[in-house]
Structure formats: C-alpha cells, structure tokens
Structure 1
Amino acid sequence: MSTFILVSGMFTGPHVWDETAARLTATGADVHAVTLTGLGGTRPPAGTDIGLETHVADVLAVIDSVQRTAGEGIVLVGHDYGIHPAVGAADRRVESVARIIHLDSGLPQDGVPALAAVADRGLREEAVRAAGGGAQGAGASLPPPARDGWRLWGSTADVPGAALDRLTALASPQPLGTLLQPLRLTGAVAAVPRTGVLCTGNGASIAMVQARADLGEPTLRALADARVAFFELPTGHWPMLSSPTALAVTLLKASAGEGHRLAPVDAAQPPAHLRPFLLDVPDIPRERAGDVDLYVPSSAQEPSPAVVFVHGGPVPAGARPTPRDWPLLTGYARFAAAHGVVGVTLDHGLHSVDDYEQAAADVADAVEQVRAHPRVDADRVALWFFSGSGPLTADWMGEPPPWLRCLAANYPIMAPLPNWGRLGSRFSPAEAVARAGSLPLVLVRAGLETADISATVEDFLTAAHACGADVEVVDVPDGHHTFEAVDPTDASRDAVHRAMRIVLGHLTN
C-alpha cells in the first residue's frame, strides 16, 4: 500500500487530517501528517525566524524518516499553502516521491512566494502590512481568522459546525516568512507525476482548468501530460473536514495513477472558444481601431445603433487569438450587423481576478470610442456581457447613462466565485441592480451551468426581483456555459435568436 505524507495549509496543523488519515490507515496505508514549525500548536525557540525553507525542511524530515519503508514511493499531499513546502521538498527528494497531490491548491513556481497564490487582494495587502517592512516578514505573523473569517481563505461549504469550531480553536498564527519567502526549485520536481484534486464548491473544476489551458496559460498547458491527472470533489475548500471518506477514496485512486487527463491543446477538436459560431452569419468585414472592432451594416445610410459585446475572463495576457477575434464574439457581432445595427467586439485587460478595475476602464474607454464613431448613433447603444465579465455590469446598472438602451448578459458570473476572494462593492451586480431604474436587463441562463456560477445568478435575480428591476430571462435548459460553442442545438440557436430580438427591440424602439 502507499505511504502518504499529508501537509496542511495556513494556520492549521496535523489535526485537520485526523478523520482522513484514519480512513486511509484502515485500508493498510502508511500515513504521516506533517507538523509544520510554528503551526499546529508547536512553539519554536524564541527568536527563531520561520520561513518557507523552514517548512520545506519539516517535510524533508518526514520524507527521510519514512522512505526506508516506502517501497513504492511516497505520495505527498499538499493542501492550500501546504503545497508550497510539499513541492519544495519533493524537488529535493524526487527519488523518494512517487506522486504529488495538489489538494485544492495552486501550482507553485520557482521564485514565487506562497502569498501570490492568495486570491483575495485585501488579504495579501494585510499580510504585507503585518510584515512591517521586515525582510521577508522575519519574526512577524498573520493572526488566524475568526470562526466566520475562514470563508475568505476558501469555501467552508459542508464543514460541520463542530469541525469549524475545532479548526478555529486550534488555529495558529501563520509566520509571515512562510508566505513572503520565494520558493526555490531546481526543476527536478517537474519529473514527478501529479494529481490535482479540485473542490468544486470552492469554484474549481476540471472544465475550468481545461479552458484555461486551451487559452494558452503556460503553467496550465504543461498539465496536458499523461503523468498529470485530476479529480473533482463536490465540496468546499476543506474536504478533510467536510468529506473525509470521499477524500480518502480519492487519494487512494490518485495514488494508483487514476483520474481524468486534460486534452492536449493541439487536439483535432478545437477548444470551446475557437469553435464555429452556431449560426450561419454573413461575412461582414471588420473595421479595426485600437482594441475595438466594428462590424458595420453595409446597407446603413445613417448612424446606426450599436451592440458592444464584452468578453469574459480572466483571459491570459498571452492568449492568441485575442477575444475580439473569437468565433463566438465575431459571430454575435456579425449577427447584430446582419440585423442593421453595428456589432462591436473588443479586448480588455481582465487577465486575473485582480484586474476588474482595469477591465472596467478599458470597457468604458471602448464604449466612448464606439459612440464617437460616425457610423454609430451615440444615443442608442446596448452592452452585452459574457461569463466572467458579469461583475463589470455593476458599473452600468448602478449609474445607467441615458444612451444605454439595454444591458444583456450570457451565463454571467454575477459575484466572486469562492476561490476569487473579494472584489469590492463596486463590482457587485446584486447591490447595483437596485439603482438600475428602468434600464432593460436581459439574462441568458444556461440550465446546465455549474452550481457555483448558478448560485451567483440566482442571488442576482433575487435582488433584481426584490427591487422590481426590469429583467427578462432567456433560458437554455439543456445548455452549458458557453452553450453557443459547446451545445450547437436548435434550442441554443432559438435562445440566441430570442435574446437578439429582445436587445434589438430595445435599441430600435
């Protein structure tokens, strides 16, 4: 049987693994939970500076203590922050480690501190302030969250109340050096097989990883490798507390090399964002100006209304082609132009969840550029958002300008996903909709949407109905996220036609 070494995340100690370790041990596995210096109730000698290298050494010590009995090699499991010392140790003991399991954690990179993996900008800034300017946080620590603050570090969905109480009671301050000291890798660890266990209740999924790899994100493209596998667990960020049995079963399967493999990015089947638009549309040429493309009706004799299509994201900065050239967006723009209005696509700077302010500024600039175009009626413009651009709708609903005749959104993400951190009230459509007044809103909803995205949509609709906002919902019951690309059915085509008719009706009336 496998030998498992379990490395816990921030503020925590070996106790979080108790139930999962017991289930693994019952199958005959050899299980060791690492106590990281300064965490789990340990107290280092006074004056000791604890950094990431300290925790790498802690993991190395456990590897060295068990490798004599681990004939088939060690399975090293890192949860959350714990993946950083785990990968650092594996890089130095590749001959002993058979597999690394990333349990709802990121992909540590050489030279990058663990703090970079914290999604919430506010928490990152808090950590830097707590360091007080010291060299990599020497001697400083970050206090553990209160009971209701754990969700800022990852979804606590399905964690029993008693387990959350215990997690809080046994939490330790996190030495800041462990977050600020860059990870150092030789590169040897790249040869070790890996498995990602993604917790869907925390906003992660295999489909999302595949989509990001398809978009050309370099660190994720490397995961389309036969040595890399994936599993999903339908729970929050703490599966060892919420689903210990399911986690143990998954770890055993992962240790045997089972799991889903990503499709290579050069596969014969193009990725979803590059598949043909589901409707036959005329080949209307584009007029390019900076980051904006206009598809102008050839028959228009005077300025025409415009529909600006705003792509989702985050999209890696190096993605090629850029979103304004994706068939889905150009298809919508040409479809609009075929109906006598100017269709517009654009590129904006939503490359990470920290970029919403930049993306909002880019979209606002693009809209003003479109309104100033001589072929556009500046008083009749509609905005149509997709997927991860959903939070950008808040600016326009909160203060709708008189020329904005309609706002539409397809399968939008209307609030931060659990692993995004906080975006701030500016990007909260559920709060902004109360100020939308009579602005017509069109929401195209995919019936087979992921549960976490669906929850953001339902929360938005609840808020919209409570304030009497004018929302018309177009349902695609058997449609997935980006149904126009992945579900080219008659029902999907009908939904696109219906949504376009509604938007055009508000533009031309």
Structure 2
Amino acid sequence: MTVFILVAGAFTGPHVWRDTAALLSADGAEVRIAALTGLGGRPSGSGGSGGSGGTVDLETHIADVLAVIDSVAAESGRQIVLVGHDYGIHPALGAADRRARSIARIVYLDAGMPQDGVPALAAVPDQRLREEVAERAAASGERATGGEGRGAGGELPPPDRDAWTRWGSTAGLSEAALDGLTALAAPQPLGTLLQPLRLTGAVAAVPVTGVLCTGNGPGIEMLQTVVDLGDPALRALADARVAFFELPTGHWPMLSCPAALAKTLIVAASGAGHRLTSADAAHPPAHLRPFLLDVPERPRERTGNTDLYLPDGPGPHPAVVFVHGGPVPAEARPTPRDWPTLTGYARHVAGQGVVGVTLDHRLHAVTDYEPAAADVADAVERVRADPRVDGDRVAVWFFSGGGPIAADWLTKPPAWLRCVAANYPILSPLPGRGPAGSRFQPVRAVSHAGQLPVVLVRAGRESAEIAATVEEFLAEAARCGANVEVIDVPDGRHGFETLDPTDEAREAVHRAVGAVLARLKG
C-alpha cells in the first residue's frame, strides 16, 4: 500500500490537506499528515527534540517528520511517498536524508531545491521579504546567518489576507479558501527559516517528482530551457529518476484544486511523469538550434562584451542593440552574444544597412538586474560613440527575461532612441520572483514613454505567467496612449526563432525587423 506523508508549508498546518487527504484515501491510499511543532503540532513553547529550550527550529520540524516516517516504516509492506509543500520540503528532505531507505519517492510540491548548509529563508523568492525576516530575526535575537540559527525563539506573524501573494500566487483560490487560509494561519517560528539544512547526501538516491504550479512559477518547458542553459545546480533535474507534472494553479493547490492534486500524487507515486532531457551534440538545446532565417554571414568586430555586425559602406549607419534574456548562468557556454537568435537578428539587420549589436550582460540571477542594466547602458553608449554608427538613430531590442531592463529606456527616452522592441518579454515581476522594486517594471514605465515607438512580438503559445505580464503591459499602454505595435506569432513558443521554424514565424521576424528599421530609417 502507498502511504502519503504530507508536510505543509509556512504558516499552515494539517488543515490545508483535508480535501486532498480525503480524495487520496478514497482512491485507496493511506495518508499521514505531519503536524509540525507550532504549526498544528505541539505548541511552539513546549520545545521538542530538535529545539533548544523553548526554541523551535528546522531540526524540531525534521524530528516531527521523522516520527511519522518511523511509525509508518514500523509496519511492513508500506511504500512511503513523502510530499513537501513550500517550506515543508526542508523538513521533509532533512528527514528523508536520515531515512533514505524507507522512502520510495519525494514529491516537491511547488517547492524549491534545498541545499546542504542553506537555510529555508534563502528560498523565499521576494528579496525585500527576506530582508524583513532577517531584520525581525535580529530584533528577536535569532541569527539569520552563520551558526545554527538558534536564539531567542522569535516568530514571524502570518500574512494578512492581502499579503499572501508575497509568499506565492493565490491564483485559483476562492474567496472562502483565502479567508480560511488567513483565519487558520499560525506564526512561523523564525528558527525554522534561519537554521541551515544539513544533508549527508543519502537522500540523493531517492527518486523525485516535482509538481510545478504554473500560476506561481515556470512550467516544464521553461524548466527545460533553464536546464539547457547549463546551470550546474540544475543538472540533476535531467536525471532519469526525476519526473515532473504541471498544475495550472497558484501556490496552494491543495486548496485551489484538491482533486487534480490528489490525482497527480497518485500518478506520481507510480513513477510516471515528464522527464527532462540532457543536451548533446546530436540534440542541441533549444537556444542553440539554428536561427529560422537563412542569413548570410557578416563581418563582426568584438570588443569587450560587445560584438558589432557591420553593414556594407562606411556609414554612419543606424544601429540596433539586441539584449538577451536570462538569468543565464555565468558558466554558460557559448555566452548569449553567440546564441543563434541574437547573431541571426544582428546579421539580418546588418544585411539591410543597419549595425547589429549583441552583448553579454551580468543577468546571472533575478537579483542582478541593476548590473545587467548598467552593462546595457554602457554598451549602448560605446556603440553610439563609434564613428560608423549614427548616434542619433539607435534602437534597443529586448528578449525574454531581459524585458524588465526596458523600463529604463521607457521611463525617460532620449531623443536619439528611435524605437524599443521586445520579443516574448517579461514586463512585470513574475509571481514569487523577478526584480524587486519599481525600477524594472515596464508596465509602470510605459506611461512615461510618450510617443516612443514600441514593437512588441507576442508568442501565442507563451507560458501563462509571462503572457499575463504582456497583457498587463498592453492594457496600461492602451490606457495611456502609448505608441505600441504588436506582432503576433499565434503558434509560436517562447524562443520561437529556434523552436518553431515555420512560415508564420519567419513572416513575424520579417515584420518585426521591418517595423524597427522603419523607425530607424524614417
């Protein structure tokens, strides 16, 4: 018999699993719910085997999960599937590392990838929220870094009803479910967020399933793209023992779609699911496949982090600066300025009398938008200073995760900036991640753009989370009368230039390039 052990996330307890547990039981599975100390288990002031005096920390919660695992393992013939949601994956993983032989599978339910020596606080997606938690910890005597995070035993109050989105998307939650989530929420012991997770490595042998809630983060296709970029920390996701499912909902699927979640968990227990692939010479990753247009080679000059693809004739010529997306791991090779999409566009415009520019910038993490934006600004100024470039006729073209940088150019466009373009861009912070603060939000910046031409290439098969930012941008652009031209690729995916070499996609590229060059040459 399959036994599901369910571990809830921050501020929540066994109550969130009620409907999902009932559905799993109706399907013939046995369900045990780990009640974590202070979150539905022992009161936080009662201490526990993992705490120090009255302090509740991550070790306390690991001990809570271990107690459930051991009670199930004592009965023969049980296959344990350990499910950790959100913060709950940290005590689940810590316990599984110590009982690896007892666990048949671990399910990461819309959860991060905890690492040895790293506290759960590091997985909180909102940078400002992490800083607030650290400040509260310092005020209560907890240590946010170093040591084991034990101290005075402070608590983090649960979110108000309107603040849950700082911890994850509430997409799919009914008003009643959100009311219940708020009413039953409990303070989170600070030590559980601050104490580093300690792993021996034994848990690496346990098969894993990830359940991705696409209303709160990337889906399988986007995750494959990230793995293809070569981040060493994500390489293990392409292991044959790792499977994935998607749920089209927000961060609390046990409340928004318990039936779909229960069905997914049942199938996951069997080992089914989508597997990611590892790229090789015969099967290159999507971003390194050929550009969809057959574009002739052009002369290229490389200086520092910038490449210029030069047209015929002495100039001065207009220029288009192509800004790659990300985050891209610093170790990725080739670097983005050599990716076929960027070089393809640069060669294409050079063939039409315009300098094409590609560059590498420092967007290696979602916290790197400031240095990345500085790299782009520096590159544009160096391009404008080149005597072969007409510094009064420049366009900047953004792709994907580079989209937030466009906000700088929309907020106060210089007279020489003739056009901003963006392909399948991220235009406002994604749920639970993305740049903090208002600077890198094109949705807010577009109202300051005046009549600066904006060419927006929209992929019809875009992920829901990115598509939502594009629609938000277009709604604000319509409200303020911004000069936006939309070019649709109805059957195109994110990165269609190397994924979808169709006539429709080729026509969209020609139209987009034509629209941008018309602004430069007009």
Shorter-chain TM-score bucket reads over 0.9
Counterpart in the other structure of 2:354: 341
- Kept in 1: contact 2:103–2:206 (CA 8 A): yes
The amino acid that maps onto 1:488 is P
For 1:180 and 1:162, how far apart are their aligned partners in 2? 32
- Kept in 1: contact 2:45–2:55 (CA 8 A): no
The amino acid that maps onto 1:180 is L
Query: What's the CA shift string for 1:38-66, capped at 9, x where partnerless?
Result: 11274133651111111111111111111
Out of 513, 516, 520, the position equivalent to 1:500 is 513
For 2:227 and 2:76, how far apart are their aligned partners in 1? 34
Counterpart in the other structure of 2:222: 208
- 3-state SS, counterpart of residue 45 of structure 2: coil
The amino acid that maps onto 1:8 is A
Q: Give 1:89 deviation, angstroms.
A: 0.6
- Kept in 1: contact 2:366–2:435 (CA 8 A): no
Alignment of 1:360-439 (within 5 A): 360-420=373-433, 423-439=436-452
Is 1:64 the counterpart of 2:70? The answer is yes
Alignment of 1:119-268 (within 5 A): 119-132=125-138, 134-135=142-143, 136=149, 138=151, 139-266=153-280, 268=282
For 2:343 and 2:38, how far apart are their aligned partners in 1? 54
Q: Give 1:320 deviation, angstroms.
A: 1.0
Moved segments of 4+, more than 6 Å: none
- Kept in 1: contact 2:72–2:78 (CA 8 A): no
The amino acid that maps onto 1:204 is P
Is 1:117 the counterpart of 2:131? The answer is no
Counterpart in the other structure of 2:462: 449
- Kept in 2: contact 1:80–1:106 (CA 8 A): yes
Is 1:275 the counterpart of 2:281? The answer is no
Q: Give 1:379 deviation, angstroms.
A: 1.2
- 3-state SS, counterpart of residue 95 of structure 1: helix
For 1:261 and 1:70, how far apart are their aligned partners in 2? 31
For 1:50 and 1:265, how far apart are their aligned partners in 2? 44
Query: What's the CA shift string for 1:108-139, capped at 9, x where partnerless?
Result: 11111111111100110011001116332621
Query: What's the CA shift string for 1:472-508, capped at 9, x where partnerless?
Result: 1111111111111111011111111111111111111
Identity, in percent, stands at 69
For 2:75 and 2:508, how far apart are their aligned partners in 1? 60
Counterpart in the other structure of 1:52: 58
Listed as ranges, the gaps of 5+ residues in structure 1 are: none
Counterpart in the other structure of 2:504: 491
Counterpart in the other structure of 2:6: 6
The amino acid that maps onto 1:504 is L
For 1:500 and 1:170, how far apart are their aligned partners in 2? 54
Q: Give 1:254 deviation, angstroms.
A: 0.4
- Kept in 2: contact 1:23–1:248 (CA 8 A): yes
RMSD over aligned Cα, in angstroms?
A: 1.3
For 1:285 and 1:411, how far apart are their aligned partners in 2? 28
Listed as ranges, the gaps of 5+ residues in structure 2 are: 47-52, 144-148
- 3-state SS, counterpart of residue 393 of structure 2: strand
For 1:45 and 1:496, how far apart are their aligned partners in 2? 63
For 1:164 and 1:41, how far apart are their aligned partners in 2? 22
Query: What's the CA shift string for 1:361-390, capped at 9, x where partnerless?
Result: 111111112112222111111000001111
The amino acid that maps onto 1:76 is L
Q: How many residues align?
A: 508
Query: What's the CA shift string for 1:264-291, capped at 9, x where partnerless?
Result: 2227221111000111112113211111
The amino acid that maps onto 1:56 is I
How does the TM-score come out when normalised to structure 2? 0.95
- Kept in 1: contact 2:219–2:463 (CA 8 A): no
Q: Give 1:423 deviation, angstroms.
A: 2.2
Query: What's the CA shift string for 1:53-98, capped at 9, x where partnerless?
Result: 1111111111111112252431000000100111111010011000
More displaced stretch, 487-496 vs 265-274: 265-274
Q: Give 1:328 deviation, angstroms.
A: 0.7
- Kept in 2: contact 1:121–1:421 (CA 8 A): no
- Kept in 1: contact 2:128–2:436 (CA 8 A): no
Q: Give 1:310 deviation, angstroms.
A: 0.3
Q: Give 1:421 deviation, angstroms.
A: 5.6
For 1:172 and 1:40, how far apart are their aligned partners in 2? 8
Out of 71, 76, 93, the position equivalent to 2:99 is 93
For 2:344 and 2:54, how far apart are their aligned partners in 1? 61
Counterpart in the other structure of 1:40: 40
